[in-house]
Structure 1
Amino acid sequence: MPEVTVVGLGLMGQALAQAFLAEGHATTVWNRSAGKAERLVAQGAILADSVRAAVVASPLVVVCVSDHQAVRAVLDPLADVLAGRVVVNLTSGTSEQARETARWASERGIGYLDGVIMDVPQGIGTTGAVLYYSGPQAGFDLHEPVLRSLGGATTYLGADPGLSSLYDMATLTMMWSILNGFLHGAALLGTANVPAATFAPAVAKGMATVAEWLPGYAEQIDDGKYPALDATIDTHLAAMEHLVQESEVLGVSVELPRFVKALADRAVAEGHGGEGYAALIEQFRRPIATRG
């Protein structure tokens, strides 16, 4: 089976190596602390005595370390042996960091793919694991069969190496927005001694309803037209004011509802009050400093 090297054996790196081994791929591993490789070696992995030896062992090198600075610290001295190989960087970072690392690799004749893992270590290797990759398609096509060992939902996004990190950041902002909304709602209901466990099913149902709205909102955003199919921003704004008032009266933090209301206030001030909620995209498209 094709050979693969995994550099970095934190919880996620170990999960990556285990998934490759489970699919029968000859897997070489390396970590600064060699002790983290013991279980993998017992499962059939080959522990390299140096990161240089690990890289030389395989045409595909998967890196999963703490940040892009650590990636470069590991890879910079190895440019000579990395040339002609493909590096898949599954280390979290920004899109600009991904593009910078891709430029470094391209200048040295190193194939490079940036990737993100949208799952926890326990999900790696399952059909439900979601991984995104971006960068030169030739490298993805060459190693796609091996990379699919990591998860059933393996998606190539395009040639721009920063796309996978952008998807990661976009998903994180959605995740934190949902979680913060749940926590604020739980705090509100907690003033009436309603357990969060009782509230959770109602939130899940509400999330499912909102998810059904997303394709229509996406179409409006792409078209640049925001018809009010259900409620106008003016209508939403009135409800937002109620939420601010409720939070104040109950002694719950008003930071989140005030922020949401401030976005709607600005949209109304710019003439979007009679449009649908998707018009708020205009508030997110530019930094505060450029707003009138």
Structure 2
Amino acid sequence: MFADRRRVVIVSAALTAFLAIGTFWLVRVVLGSTRAEFVAGTGVPSSTVVIPDPVVGSSAVPSTVHSPEGTTAETTAETTPGGTPGGGTPTTAASPPSGTPEDSRTPEKSRTPESGTPTSSRPAPDPPVPTHAIRVGGALLDNDTPRTMCAVFTNTRLGATVTVTGVRVSGRLEIQPGGCAEDSNTGGRPPCERNLTLAPGNGCFAETVADTTTAGEYRGKVTLDLRVRCTSVATAACDVAVLRDDPPTSDRPAVLTWSDTGATTLCYRVPAADSEDSSPFCSSEPQPDS
């Protein structure tokens, strides 16, 4: 009886030892080694994790440890035989996985302006030539009245180009080009209008009509507003008293403005409704302005 118990104890101890040895070798066969090496990227060593040897008879089974995803391969620099970095150009052992930021040790390329980029080197435009405007009683244009309602202004005596800045008429008349434009007495001149320039020898015409339909003869005078730019007092248009003591120059020109009221009186006739004479021309006898 006692001998049977000893056999049972010996057999149990042998089975326990066999089971422990079998478990040890099974773990070595399955894991291949007590050290697991992990790779980031293809063929590039990364971090090494040491797994402790299993304790014989222990029920604890070591778990497999995985390297964190996105481990960045180490960046190295090429060196010359003397050990000095060759050109300082870093080389990477393996490209980092997609979406992974580059190694912070890799120097960032300096950003410089592209060659050939145009720069603003054009000189600032010259400032406008200073001028001062003076209102004067300037020289007059020649004035003619080829028809009772038409006036012709001609630049024959000013000796400079003038600009028309306004046209107006007095009385019950208004400026309105019409038949005078086709009249040979106007000499093919254009109508007097604002911003029209009159060089020496050129002129313009002003035609009027009554601003009412009530029968009668309506008279008035046409006035042109003029402007001239003077750089001396050599011309009649610029030879005025206000400039003689301090003559203008090309560096300091003067602008003169004045008004020229025609010497003759224009007249437009509105015929009566029952009149047989429908002519717009007034009688030869001048009548007071109305």
TM-score normalised by the shorter chain: which range applies?
under 0.3
RCO (CA 8 Å, sep 6+): is it higher in 1 or 2?
A: 2
Compare CA radii of gyration and give the structure with the larger one: 2
TM-score (norm 2): 0.18
